[in-house]
Amino acid sequence: MSVVFTYKFNAPVLLDNQLQICWANDNTIKKGDEISSTTKTVIDSRKPQPKYNDTNNIKQNSMNYVLYEGKVSITFGWTDDDGITEDDLNVYQKYLEDQMETWTWTADFSNKTAKAEYTYAGENNDWGEFPFKYFLDTSTIKMVAETENTKLLCIIKSDADTNYTIRQRDIPAGATVTVDKPTSSVCYVLFSQPVEINGSAFDKYTQKKLTSASVSVKNTGTIPCKVLQYYR
């Protein structure tokens, strides 16, 4: 697999020896930074990638990256060997339209290219699945920062065989919500903005193991806060 990786992250933080967490490096990110693959990606050769609605050419991605500020584009390019059909593009467009986030989609089937774009707006006032969970299974995929403040979170499991359920939501600036612990033995929670948790202040880019049944969380930042939970 050939990869282009110019996007800059902070040094990784290892949470409970289970999750490697890298927030964007606020001082070095710039418009045009990219993370791309120029050959078809195989996430785990030991097992097949889950398909979206049994569509062969739409498969679950590695679920490593989450946008929490700015704008990102994801461009798919394919060859005849990839077998992408116009129906695949229509199904994928419908998948994006059904997301909690507002994506834009353009496709040029004759030139074998399509692009999805998303500007983070903090739209998710309730829990939903991992954003942009499925990709077109194409030979090339390129994710590009479209603004100077495009901020991405990268999360990698320490053990690839450990299965987590992932959910996410947003907290508007100044708002307070109750963050509950799903039924699980282990739950981790991450916040992209400064917050108060049960009245105690925490800086942005806080990640914690959630042990209480629920906590009260106030977003003390000036923009929406992305919240993610990994649990099992």
**CA 89-93-95 angle, 5° bins:** 115
Domain ranges for the chain, please list them. Answer: 3-152, 163-231
DSSP SS3 for 89: helix
pTM of the model: 0.94
Q: Determine the Cα–Cα distance for residues 214 and 156; give it in Å rounded to an integer.
A: 25
- Tens digit of pLDDT for each residue in 113-139? 999 999 999 999 999 999 889 999 999
Average per-residue pLDDT for the chain: 94
- Tens digit of pLDDT for each residue in 30-58? 999 999 998 876 655 556 788 898 888 99
pLDDT at 1: 55
In sequence order, which ranges of 84-136 are alpha helices (DSSP H)?
86-97
The correct CATH number of 163-231 out of 2.40.100.10, 3.40.50.740, 3.40.50.720, 2.60.120.10 is 2.60.120.10
